[in-house]
Chains A and B, each alone.
Chain A
Amino acid sequence: MTIKTSNAGVTVIKKLFSRHETFVFLAIVIFGLIITVVNPDFLTLENVFDLLKSYALMGTFAVGMLFVLISGGIDISFTAIATITGYVIAVLLLQNGEQLNIVSVFAIAGGVGVLLGIINALIIYYFNIPSIITTIATLNIYYGLLTVISKGKWLYGFPAWFGQYTQMYVFKFTAANGTSYGLSVITAFWFVLMLIAWFVLRYTVLGRSIYAMGGNSASAKRAGFNLLRLNLFVYGFMGLMAGFGSVIQALLVQTVAPNSLVGKELDVVAAVVLGGASLTGGTGSVLGTFLGVVLIAIMGNGLTLMRVPAFWYKVVIGTVILISVGASAYRRKVSARRRTIIEVE
């Protein structure tokens, strides 16, 4: 009798544990506990809000990367795209910064980003070149040309109105010692992007088509999906996020440098992959991606707070990625096997 009554609970738990996000969440809790035990400074609201602000950049890139991975591709040129859009807005801000406002800055950066992303999409679609090779090439083209044209100069000294956004909060607390902290508008912007992405992926035809293309692009094509349009959207969207990210970076550090983003593309791929997205099979979710970014953030921050030397950071991230990818691949394999058995019966 008791078994029967607990059945509902068991299925809920079973369902929960069939989801990748649950494991990422558990990993976050475990890591969080360990870090807090070693250094109680970790689990303070101040630190949490701080992390959410400084990782809004990676989080924004990750939203774009999620779409690309779900579609079955990969894009590592986005850091170069973001560097270009960063330069474009920096030059405009320095030349006639008073005529611009935050909306136009985002629009310009996003627009340039979309254009560069579309170049990727056209090459990948029309010449059937694997996305990894295409974007390795365009990463070097975009970055090489930018460095030649900009001569590697750092740009700073933006107008005052551009600086104020780092100190703007949706809501704010004041600690006993007088320092104030809260939910930054930059974090809020990232959250809004995630909400939009979640809605598009879950409730629109466009979103479902991207999953279909990632699941099996040949069948998706036969089923009548317009793969050109989907590719344009996915890589264009990645470009848009790269452009937005470059504005966030410029807001956070008030400087645009040629080498501040390029080289970090794999960290973003890592975060999204940690969150359960895979290159094969049209899987991945916004919630998972958010948890992946959070996991990377607390590992980076936690190692610092635990006074672990910085060069161990990559070892930890690499190990966690391999375990995560390995575990989800293994589960996929087991469930595929189970499915075939049912078919036989």
Chain B
Amino acid sequence: MERKYSEFLVLFFILLGVIGLMWLLNGSTFMSLNNFRSMAFQLPELGILSMAMMIAMLTSGINLSIIATANLAGIIMALILTQTIPPEATGPGGIGLVILAILAGLLVAAAIGLLNGFLIAHLEISPILATLGTMILVSGLALAITKGYVVSGFPPAMRAIGNSTILGLPVPILIFAAGAVILSVILQRTSLGARIYMLGSNPLACFYSGVNNPRVLMSTYLISGLYSGVAAIVMISRFNSAKADYGESYLLLTVLVSVLGGVSAAGGFGRVSGLILGLIILQIISNGLNLMGVNTFLTVALWGMVLIAVMVLQFLLNRYKEKRRSI
């Protein structure tokens, strides 16, 4: 209990510090309502993808195929939206067609998740290699289907998902919040969640205490795939288009957000609340650097350094705690 609170508080103070620093550096351009609105539209995509990464990392795995999955799911949705039935025939703003497209996209994402799960759980391939293979295959399929072109021009109902607000809150933020609540409930309140943490801390002990390890891994990668699919909905509706290589730079960031939020790369530790704070911290720094006109490549290099710095800090903290315990 103590550990959870202290970590959350540390992150919270870092967040306050980061906001203060960016305010100081950028003044009123940073603290404007407009700026916060634009951040609120950018953040959900990365947030949902980070959750897809997080759940794999909790089982001490990794999912390199999340972005490829999101792109393929997005392309399937986009093709159904643009190439089949005239949208007017399916209700106001083409709402029926949008629902059909989203279901099809989620189905594809779930299927990729299950493929990953099967390779990792039943064939016992290391998660890095299994998801590397599916990543190449899935991004190849996305490229082959679209021939590298952009698929664009969605009915109004689809565009509304990415660009409108409900009660002043952007719809993507609401989708992200719903996803975060659902994942949090799965992890903290269900037996599946407990098993995921246990599997991540010690797979052998988990197995001997009667847990069906392969089944837990299947569920983990299924959820990871589904969250990639949800990210695809937000992504394509915001851009009003789908393409085989959107968001390729997100891979580093999803790992960074997870690690920043306290997810242990060795598995077994990390909560959704931490991930959300990590995500906001990263978004604010990135936005502030952007406002200052910092070179994007320098920002990328900076993220790499932050990732290593956070991991080193985690390592040192753990060692310090262990030392104290042994005394």
CB pair B132–A266 under 8 Å, yes or no, is yes
Known: A123-B308, A128-B315. A319 touches B137 (CB 8 A): yes
Known: A140-B304, A270-B136, A309-B147. A129 touches B312 (CB 8 A): yes
Chain B interface (Cβ within 8 Å of chain A)?
62, 119, 123-126, 128-130, 132-141, 143-144, 147-148, 251-252, 255, 259, 265-266, 295, 297-305, 307-308, 311-312, 315
**A139, A317, A330: which contacts B304 (Cβ < 8 A)?**
A139
Question: Residues 119-162 of chain A: 1 if any B CB is under 8 Å from the residue's CB, otherwise 0?
Answer: 00001000111101110111111111101100000000000000
CB pair A137–B300 under 8 Å, yes or no, is no
CB pair A129–B126 under 8 Å, yes or no, is no
CB pair A132–B128 under 8 Å, yes or no, is yes
Q: Beyond A140-B252, A325-B119: 19 further Cβ-contacts under 8 Å?
A: A127-B312, A128-B315, A129-B312, A133-B255, A133-B311, A136-B251, A136-B252, A139-B304, A140-B300, A141-B304, A148-B301, A278-B125, A311-B148, A313-B140, A315-B143, A318-B137, A321-B132, A325-B125, A325-B129
Show 22 residue pairs from A and B whose CB-CB distance is below 8 angstroms, ordered by the A residue: A127-B311, A127-B315, A129-B312, A129-B315, A133-B259, A133-B307, A134-B308, A140-B304, A141-B304, A144-B298, A144-B299, A144-B300, A144-B301, A145-B301, A266-B132, A273-B133, A317-B136, A317-B140, A322-B137, A325-B133, A330-B123, A333-B124
**B62, B119, B251: which contacts A322 (Cβ < 8 A)?**
B119
Known: A133-B311, A136-B252. A148 touches B132 (CB 8 A): no
Known: A133-B259, A140-B301, A148-B298. A280 touches B126 (CB 8 A): yes
CB pair A136–B255 under 8 Å, yes or no, is yes
DSSP class of B's interface residues: helix, strand, loop or mixed?
helix
A202 close to B (CB within 8 Å): no
B-chain residues with CB within 8 Å of residue A192 when the two chains form the complex: none
A-chain residues with CB within 8 Å of residue B129 when the two chains form the complex: 273, 278-279, 325
B-chain residues with CB within 8 Å of residue A280 when the two chains form the complex: 126
B-chain residues with CB within 8 Å of residue A133 when the two chains form the complex: 255, 259, 265, 307, 311
The 5 closest A-B pairs by CB, nearest first: A318-B137, A314-B140, A144-B301, A141-B304, A318-B136
A-chain residues with CB within 8 Å of residue B140 when the two chains form the complex: 311-318
CB pair B312–A144 under 8 Å, yes or no, is no
- In A298-330, the 8 Å CB interface with B consists of 309, 311-319, 321-322, 325-326, 329-330
